[in-house]
Amino acid sequence: MVDFSELPGWLLLALPVIAILSYMVFRRSDSGSGQKSHFSSEYFKGLNYLLNDEQGKALDIFVKLVETDWETIDTHFALGKIFRKNGEIDKAIKIHQGLIARPSLPERHRNRVLLELGYDYLGAGWFDRAEGLFKEVLIHDPRSEKALQNLILIYQQEKDWHKAIDAAENLFSENPRRVGPMISQYYCELADIARAKGDISQGEHYAQQALRYDTASVRATIILADMAMASGDYQKAKTLLQQIEKQDAEFLPMVMDKLVECHHQEDESEALMDYLAQLEQRHVSLPLLESHAKVLERYKGQQAALDYVTEKLKKNPTLDGMNQLLSFNATNGDEDLRMMISGLKSAVDVMKDEQSAFQCKQCGFKTNTLYWLCPSCHNWGSVKPFACEPAC
Ligand SMILES: [Zn+2]
């Protein structure tokens, strides 16, 4: 049995080429063509060069062979991929440019060569050239998913959200569940830009568009709620923020302070305490407990908050709960007790600081900043509040 982990890296990358070569040789052998012997010997020569890590010499042979049989073009694609993965982008570009320049290149292979060259340019960071090639692919095949997806990546990189939306809309009808949330995030980006410029109505329009493409967009709801709060419409903001529980309850801790503020501005302390108690029935979450305790302290006094946290802590002893309890006790008691509690609280704070506030559900990336586009795996909306201890 071959242990692949012991093979050198370049040979592992060359395995697809070797597999294609073997297939071509055996296919030719079966066909019984008169060129069989010459064809096979040339391929074996190329294979030999490849195994000796002499890709340049191997390529010279494959270039000659592709002219007599364009079905061997897969070896070029596989070699191009090897060069690209090895970081030898210039060599990959040379292969694919060489193919494009051949007048005999059959039309049926043209788009594939353009795509491969586009990947090379992306690898080299030449986005303009890559964009031109992917657009050329679309002229021949307007529904090319690969060309559209790569154009979207380029526009995302360039933060050209309008172009990203245009390209993504071509993929929407085929896969609304995957593409809808992506388009929604682009509209949220536009909404943020409009809001930063002070154009509230445009910001609201974009946020509504975001919700049209993804009704579960927490980001769009937060944008709309923030704008409502900024304009003093706390009822509207409260209604919007309460929708987040149904959209994605994991984001609730992020908006609790805003929800509390909306109730406070509307003088709805009783309704707020009822709402928090109901929320607690549906979700076990420490940030909710923390919010509830702060609200109790604000409206019913410190003892009520202390009783509430102590009761919760008895049922579920946790670091955050302990911290909350200490914060209430830090202002009570004699000097020695306060000093001791203050020291304990500092220690707990240090431990809490070592926890990240957010984590990507796709790749596990941890951060203290909320990114709507994960900087590690580049997924939209996968970074969520870190669910430590009892999860939401
Ligand atoms: Zn990620």
Architecture of the structural domain at 169-267: Alpha Horseshoe (1.25)
- Domain locations in the chain as residue ranges: 4-168, 169-267, 268-354, 357-392
Q: Nearest 5°: phi and psi at 380?
A: -85, 135
pLDDT at residue 24, rounded to an integer: 60
Render the burial of 175-213: b for 16+ CB within 10 Å, e for the rest: eeeebbbbbbbbbbbbbbebbeeeeeeebbebbebbbeb
Q: Give the separation between CA 108 and CA 89, rounded to whole angstroms.
A: 25
pLDDT at residue 392, rounded to an integer: 37
The pTM (predicted TM-score) of the whole model is: 0.77
What's the 370 CA to ligand 1 centre distance in angstroms?
A: 12
Residue with tokens 């360039």: 158
Q: Give the separation between CA 136 and CA 111, rounded to whole angstroms.
A: 8
Q: Which protein residues have their CB within 5 A of the ion that is ligand 1?
A: 360, 362-363, 365, 374, 376-377
Q: Give the separation between CA 192 and CA 373, rounded to whole angstroms.
A: 14
Q: If one looks up domain 4-168 in CATH, what number appears? A: 1.25.40.10
- Structure tokens, 30: 């079966």
Q: What is the mean pLDDT of each run of 10 residues along the chain (392 residues)?
A: 51 63 57 53 73 75 72 80 87 89 88 96 95 96 95 96 97 94 98 96 98 98 97 97 96 93 95 93 82 88 82 68 60 57 57 73 92 94 73 37
Q: Give the separation between CA 366 and CA 383, rounded to whole angstroms.
A: 8
Q: Do domains 4-168 and 169-267 have the same CATH topology?
A: yes
What's the 356 CA to ligand 1 centre distance in angstroms?
A: 14
What's the 8 CA to ligand 1 centre distance in angstroms?
A: 30
What's the 381 CA to ligand 1 centre distance in angstroms?
A: 9
What's the 366 CA to ligand 1 centre distance in angstroms?
A: 9
Q: Give the separation between CA 311 and CA 323, rounded to whole angstroms.
A: 14
User: Can you list the alpha helix ranges (DSSP code H) found in the chain?
Assistant: 9-31, 36-51, 55-68, 73-85, 89-101, 107-124, 127-140, 145-157, 161-172, 176-196, 200-213, 218-230, 234-248, 252-265, 269-282, 286-300, 302-315, 319-329, 335-353
Sequence-distant (≥ 6) Cβ neighbours of residue 140 within 8 angstroms: 110, 111
DSSP string across 336-390: HHHHHHHHHHHHHHHHHHTS-SEEETTT--EESS--SB-TTT--BT-EEE---SS
pLDDT at residue 391, rounded to an integer: 37
Sequence-distant (≥ 6) Cβ neighbours of residue 53 within 8 angstroms: 10
What's the 349 CA to ligand 1 centre distance in angstroms?
A: 27
Q: Give the separation between CA 86 and CA 80, rounded to whole angstroms.
A: 10
Asked if 257 and 291 touch (Cβ cutoff 8 Å), the reply is yes
Q: Give the separation between CA 122 and CA 344, rounded to whole angstroms.
A: 53
What's the 344 CA to ligand 1 centre distance in angstroms?
A: 35
Sequence-distant (≥ 6) Cβ neighbours of residue 289 within 8 angstroms: 280, 309, 312, 320, 321, 324
Residue with tokens 């609201």: 204
Residue with tokens 């202002």: 331
